[in-house]
């Protein structure tokens, strides 16, 4: 291939991610021209509606997949936490790159930790996963919907609409905004979303030429962790309507996986922790999902219609 087109969302973070992949590909493949195709997605356009109410994570990638299906683009670059657990038929993840910091960040000019926020303080997030874990450990806080790109969310915080907001550490770091982070929240405090901190490259499954071209960008350890985490989500329903978290760590040839499912109000939380061979991440993810079901996740999922 002499020319490769990357479909990307228009947000500054999405463009950074696409440019990052562009630079790596051009460095790796001398003579390859990589071009960005910025597109507006339905997920970006809906600023005042919860994603779980509007159609889920697929709202961020449908237009990008259409561009690939129509031959206008060869690949799309995604934050893996925004990718649905099941891709549409005919699409595949060609590579998952080395993961950045997977943790969530507390951003606030007033408070240095979740635990120090007083009763009634307003904290912003659009994630049911974050909201459920926040209210589970801090039931006196008031969680308020926060949508928009990173800059929009920070502007709302700076205008005083929130006392604090929660964003991904990786996104802030990629935009050079790490100085805005007041605290990096330990995974024991807020367990990350499946795939958080990792970038994924999607293409048509039939494009073996594209898969070969981008495969050098793949990181085996990160991919194994993300595959285990995404399996938990897939087995349990794979939707952002579920307050679900999963995080895997690789040590040697083993993976340690932690996962949870919570009720949206945070009053019920099912947790699982298990370990298995790094070579079998899907099996480990399925086992974690079964453990979650056995310790209360089935009842939680039933109560929210899953």
Q: Which residues are catalytic?
A: 82
Rounded Cα distance, 266 and 136, in Å? 4
Rounded Cα distance, 285 and 5, in Å? 33
DSSP characters for 25-63? Answer: HHHHSTT-EEEEEEE--HHHH--SS-HHHHT-GGGGTHH
Q: Residue 5 — φ and ψ, nearest 5°?
A: -110, 130
Query: Coil, strand or helix: which one is 182?
Result: coil
CB atoms within 10 A of CB 292: 24
Q: Which of 64, 67, 94, 36 is nearest to 210 (CA)?
A: 94
Rg (CA), the chain: 19
What are the beta bridge partners of residue 258? 247, 273
> If you ran DSSP here, which 8-state letter would residue 117 be given?
P
What are the beta bridge partners of residue 93? 202
Q: Which of 163, 233, 150 is nearest to 192 (CA)?
A: 233
Q: Cα separations (Å) of 205 from 56, 134, 209, 253?
A: 23, 39, 10, 28
Rounded Cα distance, 224 and 192, in Å? 16
Rounded Cα distance, 190 and 2, in Å? 44
Angle at 154 between CA 148 and CA 157, to 5 degrees: 105
């Amino acid at each position: 291939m002499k020319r490769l087109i990357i479909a990307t969302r228009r947000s500054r973070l999405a463009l950074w991610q696409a440019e990052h992949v562009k630079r790596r590909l051009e460095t790796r493949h001398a003579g390859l021209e990589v071009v960005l195709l910025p597109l507006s997605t339905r997920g970006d356009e809906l600023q005042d509606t919860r994603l779980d109410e509007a159609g889920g994570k697929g709202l961020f990638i449908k237009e990008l997949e259409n561009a690939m299906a129509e031959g206008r683009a060869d690949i799309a670059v995604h934050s893996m936490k925004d990718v649905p657990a099941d891709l549409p038929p005919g699409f595949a993840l060609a590579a998952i790159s080395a993961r950045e910091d997977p943790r969530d960040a507390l951003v606030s000019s007033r408070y240095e930790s979740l635990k120090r926020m007083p009763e009634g303080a307003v904290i912003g997030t659009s994630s049911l996963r974050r909201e459920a874990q926040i209210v589970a450990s801090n039931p006196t806080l008031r969680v308020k919907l926060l949508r928009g790109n990173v800059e929009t969310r920070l502007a709302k915080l700076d205008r005083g609409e929130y006392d604090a907001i929660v964003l991904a550490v990786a996104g802030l770091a990629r935009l050079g905004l790490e100085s805005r982070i007041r605290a990096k929240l330990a995974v024991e405090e807020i367990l990350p979303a499946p795939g958080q901190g990792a970038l994924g490259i999607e293409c048509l499954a039939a494009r073996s030429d594209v898969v070969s071209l981008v495969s050098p960008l793949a990181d085996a350890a990160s991919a194994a962790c993300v595959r285990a985490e995404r399996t938990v989500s897939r087995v349990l329903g794979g939707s952002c309507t579920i307050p679900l978290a999963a995080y895997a760590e690789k040590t040697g040839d083993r993976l340690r996986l932690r996962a949870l499912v919570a009720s949206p109000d945070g009053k019920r939380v099912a947790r699982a922790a298990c370990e298995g061979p790094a070579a079998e991440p899907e099996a480990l993810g399925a086992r974690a999902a079964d453990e979650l079901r056995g310790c209360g996740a089935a009842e939680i999922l039933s109560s929210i219609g899953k």
